[in-house]
Structure 1
Amino acid sequence: MSKLLQGRVAIVTGAGRGIGRAHALELARHGAAVVVNDFGVSLAGEGTGESPAEAVVAEIEAAGGRAVVNGADVADFADAEAMVRQAIDAFGGLDILVNNAGFVRDRMLVNTSEEEWDAVIRVHLKGHFAPLRHAGAYWRAESKEGRQRAARVINTSSGAGLQGSVGQATYSAAKAGIAGLTLVAAQEMGRYGVTVNAIAPVARTRMTEGAFDTSAMALPEDNSPIVAWLASVDAADVTGRVIEIDGGKVTVENGWSHGPAHDLGRRWDAVDVGPALRDLLAAAPAPEPVYGA
């Protein structure tokens, strides 16, 4: 067993299957004790009654690691708080939070229902906020008591949130929100010893199979070594970054940044905006194509 994460305690949400399962197994392989969270839902977020987290915990324990099952709804504020408390009670603390849980309800924008929008935004965006909020409060308290931990948060965005994806307006909006949340949390929580980064993983999972040809896509476990390193003490100087992972290719995303500008020095007149803005657009790099465009 690797010593990279020896003695560290992690929560991985949505860890019963797919990318989350791979993360949990990888963190455990490197020595972390893992709270394996899975709410047990279908691809569309509907309850199934299954407990795939139990199989992941059994696999970790069979390999000599330590893990416990958690069935929290990560977008439920009280459930998220209890999940953080379970890690502390079971293993004596918390060092790593991997926010991964989510599902899709793909639909063209004009066909998307209010219920579909609310459900996807809830599980992805609030499902990142709630665990991060409670873990952050714990790390702040530890820091104030002189017990600052080398804490790490790895959120899960997506190329859909960074470049956009036709037929995934809701999912893209949620994943873009996660990227923004990552930037703010990195700045606010750095004083407590916490780094906050996000990955944009590419993998053949339940969420991608059936949507398009996934035969050439990377495997879920291809993403997890990057997560393991970001979760380590060695990654203390990396924060506020979004990293795309596609098999063996790792890309640091640039995100929004200030481009060409023109300061008129006074309030604009609408008739003057067109020529000036067209000049700026001509000088700016072209945006990357939306997936599916």
Structure 2
Amino acid sequence: MTKCIFMQTYSGSLKVLILVLSVVVSACGSGSKSKQNVEKSAVGENTENWIQLFNGKDLNNWQIKFKGYELGYNLNNTFRVEDGLLRVSYNDWEDWNNQFGHIFYEGEFSHYRLRVEYRFVGEQVKGGPGWAYRNNGLMLHGQSAESMELDQDFPVSIEVQLLGGNGKDERSTMNLCTPGTNVVMDNILVEQHCMNSGSKTFHGDQWVSVEVEVHGGKIIRHFVEGEEVMSYEKPQLDPRDQYYEKLLSEYGDIMITSGTISLQAESHPTDFRKIELLILDEE
């Protein structure tokens, strides 16, 4: 705040004194308003325009695909909105039967930050595989839901794996899995399917905040509670994958620079309360 000091004048007429005081007070107010305008301008310039992919009310702008079913069929009402949460629920399931599901947000994205808050709840559905216990994933740079085969398990994509602990053993989250893809780490092409991050283990039903920073066909970074736990680059199609030729023809290049964003349903109940996206400038 501008500091103003008034000095009383004992000489001159009363009119002169009033005029001087008016000018000084006006200058003080003007300086204060000027500072406020600068502060508002600075705040406006630094505001990040996050897009809420999940609106807390419905599944508008999302597409559902389950293995063995046509696009749009929500098997056993698995993906649902309850209490303002996007839930992967198995309340209406009797048995797993190897029926993987995914829910895709409309459109494709290239350069962005994706921020998600999730938690694992309840019990795994009967017959679910052991590795899928407290397991979900953010499928990035993925193929379109329309291009998936009827009996395809997973979209070809970069999977940012979400995992929960069993209460005693260490189990990192925000790992990397690569269904139909490969990446480069430390200048070496990695063909291993899954790689662990450096995150700590999250036991129980606690909420976990994670973020992925994606720069097209360049670098991808994983963050857990604000801490970077993994990075890699040059996402690309895997020539060993059964869908390689089909997608290579569609993409026109082995390198993957953009794609869909989807969430999984692979046998363990999961809640999502925030799914938001910030578009980044392309380098």
* TM-score when normalising by structure 1: 0.24
Greater share of helix residues, 1 or 2? 1
Greater share of strand residues, 1 or 2? 2
- Identify which of structures 1 and 2 has the higher relative contact order when contacts are C-alpha pairs closer than 8 Å and 6+ apart: 2
Please say which structure displays the higher CA radius of gyration: 2
